[in-house]
Amino acid sequence: MKLGELIAGLELTEIVDADESLEISGISGDSRLVEPGYLFVALKGTHTDGHRFIPEALHRGAAAILYEKPVEIPPGVCRLRAPSTRPLYPLLAARFYGLPGEKLRLIGVTGTNGKTSTTLLVAAILRAMNQRPAVVGTLGFGMPPSDMQSEYQFAERGLTTPDSVKLQSLLAQALAAGATHAVMEVSSHALVQSRVDYIHFRGRVFTNLSPEHLDYHRTMEEYAAAKRSFFSRPQLGSIEYAVVNGEDKLGKEIAEQLACPTLTFGSELTSALTGTIQHASLEGATYQLEYRAAKVHHRSPLVPADDLLLTVSSPLIGQHNLANMLASVGCGLMEGADAAALKSGLESVRNIPGRLERVANPRGLHIFVDYAHTPDALRQTLSTLRALAGTKRIITADDILKGIRTARPVRNPKYIVELNRRRAIALAISEADAGDSVLIAGKGHEDYQIFHDRKVPFNDASVAAELASSRA
């Protein structure tokens, strides 16, 4: 792309040695990824300042530099200065890749827990409508499979919501491959750092809010403000509809402030979407889901006028999955899904990696791997299994272990401290008998462990399957 096209209309305070016909071959805010012909954007981060790495970017062949602080740049290099580079970075990325976030139909899901499951459920409903949704989130980037029987194959695993350039690149890939939609997890970090700016989210979902990322946001008020901004940020385009948790304090506030059609979900009588678990076991559950048109806030001709009662059978269990299904149904209805597509889509999701994921084994054990790494998520997972199972063995990361130790004077739980994760899983499995439940919590889908000096391969589900089979 020509430099002139890329920077047209931008608020720049200084333009030096800039030839509008200069060909820009890529954009990066990471000097390590710069290649010849790139525009390097110097970003001030939480821990590092990109201005320090301008020399490295030039060494790697950067053709132009966008910066905000006074810096020494050799003569002859295209230099662009702005009051702040952060808000320009996502716009430049969007322009470079042809504004894919405008051309795809985007649905975004934010909240502390439930983003991954809700995203996959929404995508499944869209697939049942013969649409082709891509998925972006904690599991990575998934292109739409060729048929309803195939599962997403994820690549590009990294941040829940990628860097602006990577994100726009993925959306462009999806568009080129024939995707019609993209369903995306939107993290609070991404909102604060403007990563999702210039992506038009037509539908927006809020799942819930509980303490997390307070090392970054510092207070719950700051964390809540980040989530709330997803529904008001002008750089995300006009919002067509919202689906929000009507039982969550922040969800209620969001619903009250929105002027677009808003579907609340929960067990309260005021919710547009509500449901019950009619039958449940460790193998699955039967859900009754209800849509009440009269309870929709700010109804419009786009809002389905008829009430709906739906019965769904699913291997996904727990009250939290009921909430995820209700949120997904809300999106499906606003996207034009009928009852058959809603039911078919929800029932097609047989497994969500690392979310109460079952581990098949020859010993008759109910082994589950779950990503639960916040107090609220772990509480929900334990409540689900407690209601359906007998003995439980819990393997957690150290941060949750500290919580168990703190709780000891109150509940006096029996626990064993084993810092080696493989040995801990082996111990739990060795002590379990047929019919017992073993919960391996804290890492879920992750296929690695990070130590202070290295990152090593490790997948809870694979290790559990291996150990359970070897002890059969």
**pLDDT tens string 182-212:** 999 999 999 999 999 999 999 999 999 986 6
Q: In the CATH hierarchy, which fold is given to the domain comprising 96-348?
A: UDP-N-acetylmuramoyl-L-alanine:D-glutamate ligase (3.40.1190)
3-state secondary structure of 220: helix
Phi, psi dihedrals of residue 218, rounded to the nearest 5°: 75, -45
Q: For residue 212, what pLDDT is reported? A: 66
Burial environment of residue 471 by CB neighbours within 10 A (0 to 12, 13 to 18, 19 or more): middle
Phi, psi dihedrals of residue 55, rounded to the nearest 5°: -60, -40
Q: For residue 124, what pLDDT is reported? A: 96
CATH for 3-85, options being 3.40.50.970, 3.40.1390.10, 3.40.640.10, 3.40.50.620: 3.40.1390.10
pLDDT band at 61 (very low <50, low <70, confident <90, very high): very high
pLDDT band at 315 (very low <50, low <70, confident <90, very high): very high
Q: Residue ranges of the domains in the chain? A: 3-85, 96-348, 357-470
Q: For residue 408, what pLDDT is reported? A: 47
Mean pLDDT of 403-426: 71
* Best CA proximity match to 376, nearest among 434, 412, 323, 426: 323
Q: For residue 316, what pLDDT is reported? A: 96
Q: pLDDT tens digits for 68-95? A: 999 999 999 999 999 999 999 999 999 9
d(CA 115, CA 113): 6
Mean pLDDT over each residue of the chain, to the nearest integer: 91
d(CA 362, CA 373): 28
pLDDT band at 9 (very low <50, low <70, confident <90, very high): very high
Residue 148 has pLDDT above 70, yes or no: no
pLDDT band at 287 (very low <50, low <70, confident <90, very high): very high
Yes or no: domain 357-470 corresponds to CATH 3.30.420.40: no
Mean pLDDT of 359-380: 87
Distances (CA, A) of 152 to 26, 123, 157, 341, 344: 28, 10, 13, 18, 17
Residue 403 has pLDDT above 70, yes or no: no
Q: For residue 294, what pLDDT is reported? A: 96
d(CA 112, CA 251): 12
pLDDT band at 454 (very low <50, low <70, confident <90, very high): confident
Q: Which residue has the higher pLDDT, 437 or 400?
A: 437
Q: Roughly how many angstroms between the first and final C-alpha of the chain, as a whole number? A: 60
Distances (CA, A) of 446 to 111, 145, 245: 20, 22, 27
Tokens (6 digits) for 4: 């002139």
Q: Taking the model in full, what pTM does it have?
A: 0.90
Q: Which range has the top average pLDDT, 28-37, 137-146, 159-168, 354-363?
A: 28-37
Q: For residue 243, what pLDDT is reported? A: 99
Mean pLDDT of 245-258: 96
Comparing 34-38, 121-125, 378-382, the range with the smallest average pLDDT is 378-382
Comparing 133-147, 197-211, 318-332, the range with the smallest average pLDDT is 133-147
Mean pLDDT of 324-342: 98
β pairing state of 38-41 and 366-370: unpaired
Q: For residue 395, what pLDDT is reported? A: 62
Q: For residue 265, what pLDDT is reported? A: 98
Q: pLDDT tens digits for 35-59? A: 999 999 999 987 889 999 999 999 9
